[in-house]
């Protein structure tokens, strides 16, 4: 005779696995380190300054 299966444990384990998978997907999609955020901000600022530097004097703000 087999051992009885605890369905609550099975359900909770499955929920934990799904939650972990969703968290990993969100981390890959949205998660960036502080250094990555700073580098992207610096790159965007540099691009904006370069673009503003090429404006003609008669163009309005």
What is the 3 state secondary structure string of the chain?
CCCCCCHHHHHHHHHHHHHHHHHHHHHHHHCCCHHHHHHHHHHHHHHHHHHHHCCCCCCCC
Indicate the pTM of the whole model. 0.47
- Spatial neighbors of 1 by CB under 8 A, at least 6 apart, are none
Locate the domains of the chain by residue range. Answer: 7-53
Spans of the chain below 50 pLDDT: none
Looking at residue 14, its pLDDT comes to: 96
| b/e 5-26 (16+ beta carbons within 10 angstroms → b) | eeeeeeeeeeeeeeeeeeeeee
Looking at residue 60, its pLDDT comes to: 59
């Amino acid at each position: 005779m087999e051992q009885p299966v605890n369905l609550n444990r099975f359900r909770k384990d499955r929920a934990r696995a799904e939650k972990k998978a969703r968290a990993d997907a969100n981390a890959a999609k949205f998660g960036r380190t502080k250094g990555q955020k700073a580098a992207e901000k610096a790159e965007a600022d540099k691009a904006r300054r370069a673009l503003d530097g090429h404006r003609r004097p008669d163009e309005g703000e």
